[in-house]
Amino acid sequence: MKRRPFVVYGPACILAVALLVIWEIIVRVNLSLAQFLPAPSRIMQAISLNWDVLYTNTIPTLLETVLGMIVATALGLILAVLLDFTSWSRRAIYPLLIISQTIPIVALAPLLLIWGGIGIGPKVVVVTLYCFFPIAVATADGLASADPDLIKLLKSMRASHWQILWLVRLPGAMPNFFSGLRIAATYSVTGAIVAEFVGAYQGLGIFMETSINSHAIPVLFAAIVITAVLSLVLFGLVSVLEKLMLPWYHASRLPLHEALALGGRTGR
């Protein structure tokens, strides 16, 4: 059990460190690359020197991301329930969901800016558009794959559609829901950055655009690193939330001796 975190995360950490070392060596050997591709040490230095500005621009981006994720989660759950409500509603709504993903959000963002101004509202909408689809589709698939025997049992007890949804379908769909939420978490920060590229007072997106215009390549990479870290943190928070809310699901995936140990600690 003590070795489990290293077994899970160790290979990725080792590979990441190796790639960073190779990157550092290549840039130091070929100095002409430094003006286009700064070394990792130079990027970390840029983060340290510009931390105040980076922090100031990170807060609006994080706020837009979190609000967009909340709206996308609510919208995705509602759409998933509507898709599962009747076969007619699924045939009516699902094609519209697919069509919504064929619209380039990069092209839609300027229109949202014109309609809603340069405030936080259009940016939250862009994040929502980026994130709601994987949540809705994954949850709908989870609702559709509910245990038919449990559904038959509740129907034999004259349970209503909403009782079956609440007692069987939604709990069974939660692993799928969190899978979609993890995917959405990786898209969310990108959505906020795209919205800020179009127009913003503050944020990592407008900071990146300013860095590009001033040819401050190390500072640009510093902002990219902050963006990647935000995405990883959101992904990790969703994973932690899933483990806290669905201990039964993760216990069922553990080896027998670990599941028994977990059950002993939780008193089950």
pLDDT in tens, 166-190: 888 888 889 999 999 999 999 899 9
**pLDDT score of 128:** 93
Does residue 123 sit within a domain?
A: yes
**pLDDT score of 252:** 63
**Taking all residues of the chain, what is their mean pLDDT, rounded to a whole number?**
84
Total tally of structural domains belonging to the chain: 1
Does residue 43 sit within a domain?
A: yes
**pLDDT score of 249:** 72
| Residue-range definition of the domain harbouring residue 108 | 37-252
Does residue 131 sit within a domain?
A: yes
Helical residues (DSSP H) of 157-216, grouped into ranges: 161-164, 170-198, 204-213
Does residue 257 sit within a domain?
A: no
Report angle CA 12, 17, 19 to the nearest 5 degrees.
Answer: 95
Tell me what the mean pLDDT of segment 83-89 comes to: 79
Does residue 31 sit within a domain?
A: no
Q: What is the CATH number of the domain that holds 93?
A: 1.10.3720.10
Whether the full predicted model's pTM is greater than 0.85, yes or no, is no
CA distance 107 to 104: 5
Q: What is the pLDDT of residues 131-169, one digit of tens each?
A: 999 999 999 888 888 888 888 888 888 887 788 888 888
Does residue 92 sit within a domain?
A: yes
Look at residue 251 and tell me whether its pLDDT is greater than 90: no
Does residue 49 sit within a domain?
A: yes
Residue 209: partners with Cβ closer than 8 Å, 6 or more residues away: 196, 197
Tell me what the mean pLDDT of segment 196-222 comes to: 89
Does residue 24 sit within a domain?
A: no
CA distance 251 to 264: 12
